[in-house]
């Protein structure tokens, strides 16, 4: 147990041994609260700096992602263009059998017309008239192969 003098000295912050006045409890409390305020200020500044750093890093990531997406979209449009040109080529290739068939028929009709003309030169009058009619029919077929 402390004596009455020591209690008063402890309350008022005086030291009995050397007679100096120490800090009162209120002064110590004010000093501690000031230190806590400084610590709070530093923590607040660090928190703001952290938020800024996180914002900037996320902004850079988003910008990179947007650039990647635009590159991918450009690549997709290029692929679409290539597919369109390939579809046109496929259409042309699919039309080739009809074209080849028409060319074959035209060549066959030309060949028959030439043979009819050759035979007409060697044949008599009745045969010449029949061969002329054949040439006329073949000429009509050459211009309209659907007949």
For residue 31, the model assigns a pLDDT of 67
Whether the CA torsion 51, 55, 56, 58 is positive or negative: it is: positive
Using one digit for the tens of pLDDT, what is the confidence trace for 64-86? 999 999 999 999 999 999 999 88
What are the φ/ψ torsions at residue 14 (nearest 5 degrees)? Answer: -100, 150
**Range of the structural domain that residue 67 is part of:** 4-143
User: Residue 39 and residue 22: Cα distance in Å, rounded?
Assistant: 25
Please list the alpha-helical segments (H only) found in 1-147.
Answer: 4-12, 25-122, 125-143
The whole-number pLDDT of residue 19 equals 47
Which tokens in the block code for residue 53? Answer: 């750093």
Residues of the chain with pLDDT under 50: 16, 18-21, 147
The predicted pLDDT at position 104 comes to 84
Q: Kindly state the tokens that stand for 64.
A: 């990179």
Residue 74 confidence (pLDDT): 92
Beta carbons within 8 Å of 27's beta carbon, 6+ residues apart: 13
DSSP 146: T
Residue 99: CA atoms inside 13 Å, Cβ hemisphere, count? Answer: 6
The number of folded domains in the chain is 1
């Amino acid at each position: 147990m402390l004596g009455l003098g020591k209690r008063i000295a402890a309350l008022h912050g005086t030291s009995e041994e050397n007679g100096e006045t120490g800090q009162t409890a209120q002064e110590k409390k004010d000093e501690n609260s000031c230190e806590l305020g400084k610590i709070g200020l530093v923590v607040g500044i660090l928190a703001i700096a952290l938020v800024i750093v996180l914002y900037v890093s996320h902004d850079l990531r988003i910008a990179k992602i947007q650039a990647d997406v635009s590159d991918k979209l450009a690549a997709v449009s290029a692929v679409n263009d290539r597919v369109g040109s390939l579809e046109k080529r496929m259409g042309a290739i699919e039309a080739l059998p009809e074209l080849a068939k028409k060319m074959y028929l035209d060549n066959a009709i030309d060949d028959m017309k030439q043979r009819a003309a050759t035979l007409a030169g060697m044949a008599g009058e009745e045969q010449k008239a029949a061969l002329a009619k054949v040439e006329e029919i073949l000429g009509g077929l050459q211009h309209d192969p659907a007949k």
